[in-house]
Structure 1
């Protein structure tokens, strides 16, 4: 059903505004990257990285890896473009995530985060001229599909350091989803001022609980990491409204909603003191997604790999600042829930130490291309400027 709707939208030669057509392939909106700037610059890899500024979003076990309080934040400026008969460009700026880790002594560490998890904005409008039965006159058909909303998440968790430098972590998640979809159909007859319009509005909302667990296991210069997420079944409220001229008819219903579980395995390798390599394999079980839409979705897999280089990590910050700057790059491939659709992302970034290396400023560039092999010559390109700020401070002194 999703692909049929997309074919319909693309088949009409119209005046169009849209952020992403292929976002329709995701029932809850396009997934957003919720990792820190350091991880995003390495293609999104970091499940198997045991470092302060990799945050808790990829692996809750990283909560345990801190003797100081650590915060991380990320925002991005996006330029989206797609081609149908011509190239269109759209711009967006939004915060991505904010996290905080606080040590609590012998009891381990506590972690908290907020992230924008999905985004489903779409604004499609068309104006089509039709042949009128009245001689030397035309009728006009107006069509609109406007969608706005997405899902955000709050996390609170705990991490603990076991023997042999093994780390474990657990987070509780609270997810909030809201999506409003407006369908507008209008018709103007000939040269007259007569205009007929029907509006169909749907608003879907739900709140759900979930958990995420993770572990990090060092083995010499190699570090293994694993994390898994499960969101519990919940009820979604759906309000449908049909408006014809001055009359509005509304009804409310409830449907069962079950967001898909997911799992990630990652590893990192400290090749030398200057070079760090990392890779992740991630899967989302969209074939277990439950909602009122019976569209057939597939289980998706994604892979990412990245590298980071620090010219002289042993140098003291005040001695030679430029040799402590970090340089990162990475590549990520992601499948979409609909057969034949995928996304490839290339990342490049740098991290600038500040305040005697107790803080880090990430500046990253990402380029993504989305495509569907069933849509000939249609691609979506996304350019992102990613800014991340990380800091650490020892709030409590050991006695």
Structure 2
């Protein structure tokens, strides 16, 4: 297991070399950015349904599922995103590669523990405009950064049918947005840089219920709740007088720190997720989940943003998996886990009176790696967010996600050395 983790970390570091920006969406300008984390790759491949108990995969959405682990699990995942953004008059393409999560789960009897790192939200956009004036003004807007979560959690098997759990998360990160303006007829231009240092705590509580309907079929249900919390933003603003060099680089002629920029807070919305599922364990399962987020409490980083606000959000997920023969020794393909799902959500962001929605279809595979416990999980997602109406942006995206779930038994004393 240790060798597997070392190899995985080497892959992670090579992967992270490309993970400079986790999104290319202009919608990431608002709030704390574009919330990217929607579960591990195996649950995302089922539309985000996280109701199913699993003894060899980490569930990072409901901490109560940590009590279902039978083996120590090391999990990491990343996503390659290909996005085509368009308005009524323009169209652009962007590609991004980013880390999704890095976590470890450890079972100890009826208890299960987990800890790890999740890049939670991302800011990453570049927008250029040119006015129609006689001496046109060139404007460039860009943003980078995001919010990460370090978490630690535990789940406990209260009875044979009921698990409970909780985790605590520390949020941290930096968000930087830049506004640049200049005219060709004027020697100098101006650049405004806004920087926010993000920090704060939040928690998640969960419960699951599982029972046998008969000798073959089982019923599952889950509940997850995250209370409303806050993140603090230490804000800074600088104004630069700039000049473009002959090779196109930017030279700062003069810089001034703006006084009186107050630190602010952004409320993270409370979240309630309810899920239910039915099926035959290690054969097939189908489930549905609905998530309610009180995003109407969310505000933007700076109060001088006009025309955009947040309303309460709702997400609907439907999905499941199928395994032809979990214990097959004659056919590798029969041991593969085949997953599929759909997702629809009102993101909670409202721009110019229009609610921004996100719809996606998902599919994926769990490929056994060196046995039946460790797996390479591959997920495919195709979806659309936003609209070209109201002079807004429609994003059509295709995501390819790859993750490792390495399972082994730890802390077992050897009888023969």
TM-score range, shorter chain: 0.7 to 0.9
Query: Which segment drifts farther, 74-83 or 335-344?
Result: 335-344
In the aligned structure 2, how far is the partner of 1:377 from the partner of 1:297? 16
What is the number of residues matched between the two proteins? Answer: 366
Q: Aligned residue for 1:224?
A: 221
Q: Are residue 83 (structure 1) and residue 99 (structure 2) matched?
A: no
1:37–1:256 distance in 2 versus 1, CA, 3 Å: closer
Cα deviation, residue 72, structure 1: 1.5
**Structure 1, unpaired ranges of 5+:** 1-17, 132-138
Q: TM-score, normalised by structure 1?
A: 0.86
In the aligned structure 2, how far is the partner of 1:288 from the partner of 1:127? 35
In the aligned structure 2, how far is the partner of 1:110 from the partner of 1:82? 41
2:394 to 359, 379, 382: 379
Q: Could you list the per-position Cα deviations for residues 283-339 of structure 1 after superposition, in whole angstroms to 9, with x for gaps in the alignment?
A: 2111122565385310000101112111122x33x3322211111111000112214
Q: Aligned residue for 2:138?
A: 142
Q: Aligned residue for 1:340?
A: 355
In the aligned structure 2, how far is the partner of 1:124 from the partner of 1:244? 20
Q: Kindly report the root-mean-square deviation, in angstroms, between the aligned alpha carbons of the 2 structures.
A: 2.2
In the aligned structure 2, how far is the partner of 1:112 from the partner of 1:36? 14
Q: Aligned residue for 2:196?
A: 204
Within 5 Å, which residues of 2 pair with 1:202-281?
202-220=194-212, 221-230=218-227, 232-245=229-242, 246-250=253-257, 251=259, 252-270=261-279, 274-281=283-290
In the aligned structure 2, how far is the partner of 1:200 from the partner of 1:282? 38
1:170 to 160, 166, 173: 166
1:53–1:261 distance in 2 versus 1, CA, 3 Å: farther
Q: Aligned residue for 2:26?
A: 21
In the aligned structure 2, how far is the partner of 1:352 from the partner of 1:247? 57
SS at match of 1:233: strand
In the aligned structure 2, how far is the partner of 1:238 from the partner of 1:124? 22
Is this contact kept in 1: 2:26–2:124, CA < 8 A?
no
SS at match of 2:66: helix
Query: Which segment drifts farther, 48-57 or 304-313?
Result: 48-57
Cα deviation, residue 374, structure 1: 4.4
Is this contact kept in 2: 1:35–1:54, CA < 8 A?
no
Cα deviation, residue 87, structure 1: 3.1
Within 5 Å, which residues of 2 pair with 1:297-316?
297-313=310-326, 315-316=327-328
Q: Could you list the per-position Cα deviations for residues 206-258 of structure 1 after superposition, in whole angstroms to 9, with x for gaps in the alignment?
A: 21011111011113211110111135334321101112353322134212332
SS at match of 1:217: strand
SS at match of 1:258: strand
1:178–1:340 distance in 2 versus 1, CA, 3 Å: same
